[in-house]
Amino acid sequence: MIIMRIALDNLYAFEGFEIDMSYPKRAVRSLLQDEFLEGYPNFRYKRVCVLMGANASGKTTLGKALMNILGFISEKDFALIDKMIGDPSRPASFSIDFIVKERKLNRVCLDIIPQPGGKRRHVVSCDSERILARDSYQSCSRRLDAKGRTIMELDSGLDRVERIGWCFSCPDLIAGGKGHDISDDAVLAALNAVLRTLDPAISGVRRLEGMKDPGFVIVKSGNEIILQNGVITNPEILSSGTREGVRIALFLAAMMDGYPGVYYCDEHFSCIHSSIEISIFRMMVSLLRRDEQLFFTTHNEAIMELDLPKHAYAFLVREDGRIAVSYANRFVQKASDNLRNAVRNGVICAMPDTRYLDALRPSL
Neighbours of 72 (CB within 10 A): 23
| Per-residue pLDDT, 28 | 58
- Beta carbons within 8 Å of 211's beta carbon, 6+ residues apart: 228
Same structural domain, 230 and 129: no
| Cα atoms in the Cβ-side hemisphere of radius 13 Å centred on 39 | 8
Assess if residue 318 is contained within a domain: yes
364 falls within a domain: no
| CB neighbours of residue 114 within 10 Å | 16
Residues 289 and 143 in one domain: yes
Same domain flag for 73 and 107: yes
Alpha-carbon distance of 180 to 47, in angstroms, equals: 22
| Whole-prediction pTM | 0.91
64 and 33 in one domain?
Answer: yes
Do 219 and 175 sit in the same domain of this protein?
A: no
Q: List residues bridging with 147 in a β-sheet.
A: none
pLDDT value, residue 212: 72
Q: Running along the chain, 364 residues long, what does each successive block of 10 average in pLDDT?
A: 96 95 76 86 95 88 94 92 95 96 95 93 94 96 94 80 88 70 88 95 90 85 87 88 92 83 91 94 93 93 90 88 86 77 77 78 67
Contact assessment for residue 66 and residue 362, using Cβ atoms and an 8 Å cutoff: no
Interaxial angle between packed helices 274-287 and 184-198, expressed in degrees from 0 to 180 and rounded to the nearest 10:
160
| Count: domains in the chain | 2
Q: Does residue 246 belong to any structural domain of this protein?
A: no
Domain holding 319, by residue range, is 2-179+259-358
Task: Check residue 180 and give its pLDDT.
Answer: 56
Neighbouring C-beta atoms of residue 271, cutoff 10 Å: 14
Residue 14 shares a structural domain with residue 143 = yes
Report d(CA 218, CA 249) in Å as an integer: 13
Contact of 164 with 177, CB cutoff 8 Å: yes
Residue 248 counted as domain residue: no
Whether residue 46 is found in the same domain as residue 9: yes
Q: Are residues 155 and 42 in the same domain?
A: yes
Are 12 and 138 in the same domain?
A: yes
Map residue 289 onto helix, strand or coil: coil
Do 97 and 39 sit in the same domain of this protein? yes
What is the reported pLDDT for 85? 96
Which CATH number fits the domain that encloses residue 13?
A: 3.40.50.300
Residues 173 and 40 reside in one and the same domain: yes
